[in-house]
Amino acid sequence: MRESGSPRGGNRLVERIDSALVELAEIRSGAEPYRRRLLEVHASDPPTTDQLREAVVDVLADLYRVEVNPPTDLLEFSDGAFDVVFDAAHELTVLLHGLSRLTVPNTRDNSYHRGFPARAGFDKGHAMAHAQGGREGGPNYFPQAPRVNRRLSPLGGLWRDIESYLAANPGLYCFVRLAYPAGVSTDVPAEVEYGVAAEGQFRVVVFPNL
């Protein structure tokens, strides 16, 4: 997973994330559960992409079952770009993960995006941005706080910087976990975790969504 040469897309992402975790009170690191899982199962440092995938899916399943009322029915499938973990019992997207991909400029289906139902007070957020290989609609959409989805605040600036970095550097493992409020029946995540393996490092940022 270590990369050679300099990353494209501006400032180094790990430095950007580490600075933001110190400066922005509304976000926090979410990496510890995944690191613990990797230490329990694998000894390699850094972990391989397959080891990261396995750890992320295992940890999210444990975390998700604490958040929602039973029963749960977690299914994993591909939407054609990224792998999706979906709870068929509650009809909720829980995770999108995979490798960032090159996307041809100006290929986003804007008419589909405009026609997708909106939620009052929220943007039609993409877990994986089109520019980094995400698809329109379906499990890739979720109600997202505008201050995080757009560059309206330092939070939105960090979210967009992560997206831009992944768009400029294809082949990096990344994931977005939608964390729902415990015990509440809703399809609006309370928090959103953005995880990325870049520059030989692994970082997870937990963003607020309410």
pLDDT in tens, 37-67: 998 886 667 788 999 999 999 999 999 998 8
* Residue 3 belongs to some domain of the structure: no
* Residue 1 belongs to some domain of the structure: no
pLDDT at 135 over 90: no
* Residue 90 belongs to some domain of the structure: yes
Distances (CA, A) of 205 to 66, 81, 118, 185: 20, 22, 25, 24
pLDDT in tens, 116-126: 557 789 999 99
Summarize the confidence of residues 118-143 as an average pLDDT. Answer: 90
Determine how many CB atoms are found less than 10 A away from the CB of residue 208. 15
**Rounded distance, CA 166 to CA 16, Å?**
13
* Residue 177 belongs to some domain of the structure: yes
For residue 148, give both structure tokens.
């995080």
* Residue 150 belongs to some domain of the structure: yes
φ, ψ dihedrals at 186, nearest 5°:
-160, 155
Identify the CATH number of the domain in which residue 156 sits.
Answer: 3.40.570
pLDDT in tens, 56-102: 999 999 999 988 999 999 999 999 999 999 999 999 999 999 999 98
Question: How many structural domains are present in the chain?
Answer: 1
Q: What is the domain range of residue 183?
A: 13-208
**Rounded distance, CA 155 to CA 25, Å?**
10
Say which residues have a Cβ less than 8 Å from residue 153's Cβ, sequence separation at least 6. Answer: 147
From the number of C-beta atoms within 10 Å of its C-beta (0-12, 13-18, 19+), residue 89 rates as middle
